[in-house]
Amino acid sequence: MITVLIVDHTPTRASALQEALAAMAGIRVVCALDSPLELHARVAEFRPDVVLIDTESPSRDVLEQLAVMNAAAPRPVVMFSDDAGDQPIREAIRAGVSAYIVDGLAPGRLHPILRVAMERFDKEQRLRAELEDTKEKLASRKVIERAKGILMKQRGISEDEAFAMLREHAMARGLKLGDAAAKQVIDIASLLG
């Protein structure tokens, strides 16, 4: 079951959209908003699988609220808009929109559009997680290399011996090599000057 939160400031369009979604198997509307100002709070409350926004053109309020939502509780966002301009599309994508649909809202296309947006969002989230993991590993590696250099210089030992010392230090204290053990060596060396 795909849960959907709708944002549409036009009550008749919002009602028609809710009816179209209600008629589809496997989709349930959990909340409908007429203003984007409550978006973050309602996403936190209802935790929808997808946020669907129907607008003539993405306003600054909509884009700001999407950015706030994506910082705290990211969700796939499908935006139906009448505005096919490059700038609104670019701004919507930057704010976190997963799919920007210009060619109108056809009920028969809704389910595949929602699925594609969800898959694209999941892929992007995995890429972000991989990027963060890689950044953390690189930062850890830099700290370890610096600590090894300090040990090699202070003790007159080889790189392998310095690495073994760091590893032993970390294991004896139950620390991760890069997180704390290498940082302790660097901190002590900077204290000793």
Whole-number average pLDDT of the chain: 86
Is the pLDDT at 193 greater than 70, yes or no?
A: no
Which string of DSSP letters, residue by residue, matches 32-61? EESSGGGHHHHHHHH--SEEEEEESS--HH
Q: Which CATH number fits the domain 2-105, given the four candidates 3.40.710.10, 3.40.50.1380, 3.40.50.2300, 3.30.450.20?
A: 3.40.50.2300
Q: What is the mean pLDDT of residues 23-33?
A: 86
**How is domain 136-192 classified at the CATH fold level?**
Arc Repressor Mutant, subunit A (1.10.10)
Say whether pLDDT at 179 is over 70.
no
Got the DSSP string for 73-125? S---EEEEES---HHHHHHHHHHT-SEEE-S---HHHHHHHHHHHHHHHHHHH
Domain ranges within the chain, ordered by starting residue: 2-105, 136-192
| DSSP assigned state of 23 | T
Alpha-carbon distance 180 to 186, whole Å? 10
Q: What's the pLDDT tens digit per position in 118-165?
A: 899 999 999 999 999 999 889 888 988 888 898 888 889 999 998 898
Fold agreement between 2-105 and 136-192 = no
Q: What percent of the chain has pLDDT over 90?
A: 27
**In the predicted model, is pLDDT for residue 107 greater than 80?**
no
> What predicted TM-score, i.e. pTM, was given to this entire model?
0.71
